[in-house]
Structure 1
């Protein structure tokens, strides 16, 4: 009974729950975006996910300088200057009172504390779509392994309900914590940023040795299905040699699908390859 209560009461920070997602695993899925990440990728698609604490988003063009936010802020972090509100980020504690009183939706807080049970109730509402499309729930972010206990408990609740589970991960995590989360994971969407460790460190802030070691262990020791996902970023990891090194690693080490996301300033497309020879 106590274990079940701990699972339900486990808390974490979520910044978005995206319904009807079709690019984060098989079938129709619900993607749960968690806050916090170990990496600082130059090209990060969700920079609001990097910090674990909630982040204040401010839309200056919507602000009329009414002053309600400044009057409400418990940290006295807001002042009105020339008809616009300005927030001292060093003082802001993310309480969110300013958001509640803003009449123009000029403020938004990215990140909300939720229990595993609350997240599960949100995703369970899409269960009919999962059953008809062989879909399920995907934890992404940010990085799910940044909140390992929270991630584990969400996945456990989904597994108990017969819902297919997946995580999208950069793979930078302690192996024992990783295994603890993976015991309730049906599919791993593994992001590979760069095969050269020095460049990986330059572009993301950390080297890739632990990442590559973990993905090998997942495949060879645990046998959990893996889909390697690569954000191909012009000027960073899109050379012929880069692509060759990605493909060689996936074929020789994972013997699996390679999913490549090609991105530039105006478009992004998804290409899936079944690799067999390199």
Structure 2
């Protein structure tokens, strides 16, 4: 894989690994989490996104669409994504950039150069580059080359992963990862499949594989992340089960267990992608609920539990 497909690059992030970081978001994900914060990350190909706030109503996008996949009504531009042949002439011809193509191809050397623009901040604030997604392991060949070049440049690296990938890919990328940010959403396989569309057997097996390598080689850090999603992961039973798993399998080599609170900032992304979102009407978890779940987690991993994100006010 000579090029990688990236849909976003965030600079100055402080929650995607140690210190201040640049996070590179790779496109494509084998999971379909019902609460996904990045709906534009799931498809492994370039896609259209339309921003109503930028649209000036010139209809140029409709005029240049050769297959008539775009129409307009009182609510704005509508895309027939099944008919779209992904030529992106509409995005190229949009004068206000309201119609955009999500996903850009990068050669390794160009992406390394782009990611290293903030190197002075990595040095000053003990940071580096994090690869996220989507699921970066889907582009494992490119990922190995990208992270390998970053390590040669002396840049600290982190891999934010769902863990759903081939073990051979993890084995190849492992030497170039300083910190693994690894999601554990559920322990119960049936519930995991219900909310993500896939089994968690591979995920848990890969996590044990990484843990064993860390024990032997002592050259990487492990952070566990659990999203706190109302009606899904944010239950006492689920946090108990994850806590038991961490204490029994991972506590000796886990540096941090982060409970990431639910937010609805991504709601506009679903509108731009022309998709509905199951959590569109949900609000922030109240602080007492989050404190209770954190206290349960602390029973199993007191010294390493961290809560990140916003909470709502108690009624």
Q: TM-score, normalised by structure 2?
A: 0.78
1:99–1:171 distance in 2 versus 1, CA, 3 Å: same
Alignment correspondent of 1:30:
22
Gaps of 5+ in 1: 1-8
Task: Select the residue among 209, 212, 215 that pairs with 2:204.
Answer: 212
Tell me whether 1:233 sits opposite 2:259 in the alignment.
no
Query: In 1, are the aligned partners of 2:50 and 2:77 still within 8 Å (CA)?
Result: no
Q: Distance in 2 between matches of 1:72 and 1:276?
A: 59
**How far is the alpha carbon of 1:81 from its aligned partner?**
5.6
**How far is the alpha carbon of 1:73 from its aligned partner?**
3.0
Q: Distance in 1 between matches of 2:110 and 2:85?
A: 24
**How far is the alpha carbon of 1:79 from its aligned partner?**
4.3
Q: Distance in 2 between matches of 1:48 and 1:113?
A: 15
Query: In 2, are the aligned partners of 1:219 and 1:225 still within 8 Å (CA)?
Result: no
**How far is the alpha carbon of 1:64 from its aligned partner?**
4.7
Gaps of 5+ in 2: 264-281, 304-315
1:176–1:83 distance in 2 versus 1, CA, 3 Å: closer
Q: Distance in 2 between matches of 1:80 and 1:260?
A: 42
Task: Select the residue among 239, 245, 252 that pairs with 1:243.
Answer: 239
For 1:68-112, what per-residue CA distance to the aligned partner results, in whole angstroms no more than 9, with x for missing partners?
223333554334567954332123233332223223332122111
Q: Distance in 2 between matches of 1:254 and 1:55?
A: 38
Greater shift, 82-91 or 192-201, is seen at 82-91
**How far is the alpha carbon of 1:62 from its aligned partner?**
4.6
Alignment correspondent of 1:47:
39
Any idea what SS the aligned residue of 1:226 has?
Answer: strand
Task: Select the residue among 67, 86, 94 that pairs with 1:94.
Answer: 86
Query: In 1, are the aligned partners of 2:3 and 2:106 still within 8 Å (CA)?
Result: yes
Note the aligned Cα RMSD (angstroms). 2.4
Any idea what SS the aligned residue of 1:150 has?
Answer: helix
Q: Distance in 2 between matches of 1:110 and 1:165?
A: 25
Query: In 2, are the aligned partners of 1:65 and 1:83 still within 8 Å (CA)?
Result: no
Alignment correspondent of 1:183:
175
Any idea what SS the aligned residue of 2:101 has?
Answer: strand
Alignment correspondent of 1:115:
107
Summarize the alignment of residues 1-278 of structure 1 with structure 2, pairs less than 5 Å apart. Answer: 10-60=2-52, 62-79=54-71, 84-223=76-215, 224-255=220-251, 256=254, 257-263=256-262, 265-267=282-284, 275=301
Q: Count residues with an aligned counterpart.
A: 269
